[in-house]
């Protein structure tokens, strides 16, 4: 039997993390690096990506910044190509890129439907398919999608975001059904309220106190990004070797 600690090891593996410059993405990149992975971090803004790269390299792992837009299919392909060309292979994909808007349903502009769907769902669709092409050729891989409580429970003020995340939950199961027997495990984490710059920006725009969101769960607080990152580590590692097609809600407990 493999020692329990070794089940979490990612030594020799390469991970791609989208939205890797801040929040959950940055925390995930660092946790995966702590457990042995080299990391490619993708996002639209170069400066936060470079900061994450420096932090990963300080842990003794290789890291690459890939400034690009994962809502564009050809750039999703380029992301996977960069990882394979520079680090040799891709073993873990974390589809973390996302973002939401909060407003009454009748106040949404027509173009905001595509904007929210593209970053939260379309990006995961294309990046997963390009990564899976490589993973299928090597006979193994793990994909972890980052979803939201909004995809599990109706939230009128986040209607399109919730619809996109519900689609991501379902897509997780479909991809798992297609690929698990061929060596690729696909799982999902539905997050409760996490203390991230993205949530703080949404709260400021919508005019509510972000700390109040933490009062809706049993623990009575917001989560730190690292608390999601360790869930990603579980799904990415051999600790979850018999787990695929699952959406795990990490939300602080029902109240």
**Residues with active-site annotation:** 161
Q: What is the mean pLDDT of residues 97-109?
A: 92
Domains assigned to the chain: 4-250 (3.40.50.720)
The 10s digit of each residue's pLDDT in 142-171 is 999 999 999 999 999 999 999 999 999 999
Other Cβ atoms within 10 Å of 58 Cβ, number: 11
- Burial 105-116, CB ≥16 within 10 A → b, else e: eeeeeeeeeeeb
Distance CA 65, CA 50 (A): 6
Mean pLDDT, the chain, integer: 94
State the pTM of this model. 0.94
The 10s digit of each residue's pLDDT in 206-226 is 677 777 778 889 999 999 999
pLDDT of residue 215: 86
CA dihedral (132, 16, 84, 77) in degrees, to 10, reads 60
Q: Per-residue pLDDT for 1 more than 60?
A: no
CA dihedral (71, 76, 79, 84) in degrees, to 10, reads 160
Q: Is the separation of the CB atoms in 52 and 63 below 8 Å?
A: yes
């Amino acid at each position: 039997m493999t020692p329990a600690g070794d089940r979490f090891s990612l030594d020799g593996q390469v991970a791609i993390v989208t939205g890797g410059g801040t929040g959950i993405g940055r925390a995930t990149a660092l946790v995966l690096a702590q457990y042995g992975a080299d990391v490619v971090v993708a996002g639209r803004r170069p400066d936060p990506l470079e900061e994450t790269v420096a932090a990963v390299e300080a842990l003794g792992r290789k890291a690459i910044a890939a400034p690009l837009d994962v809502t564009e299919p050809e750039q999703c392909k380029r992301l996977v190509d960069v990882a394979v060309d520079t680090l040799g292979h891709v073993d873990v994909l974390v589809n973390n890129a996302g973002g939401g808007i909060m407003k009454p349903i009748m106040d949404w502009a027509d173009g905001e439907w595509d904007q929210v769907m593209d970053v939260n769902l379309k990006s995961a669709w294309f990046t997963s398919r390009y990564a899976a092409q490589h993973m299928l050729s090597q006979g193994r891989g793990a994909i972890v999608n980052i979803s939201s409580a909004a995809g599990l429970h109706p939230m009128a003020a986040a209607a399109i975001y919730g619809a996109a995340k519900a689609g991501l939950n379902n897509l997780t199961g479909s991809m798992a059904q297609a690929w698990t027997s061929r060596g690729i495990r696909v799982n999902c984490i539905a997050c409760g309220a996490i203390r991230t710059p993205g949530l703080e920006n949404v709260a400021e725009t919508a005019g509510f106190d972000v700390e109040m969101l933490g009062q809706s769960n049993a623990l009575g607080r917001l989560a730190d990004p690292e608390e999601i990152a360790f869930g990603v580590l579980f799904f990415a590692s051999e600790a979850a070797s018999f787990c695929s097609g699952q959406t795990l809600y990490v939300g602080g407990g029902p109240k």
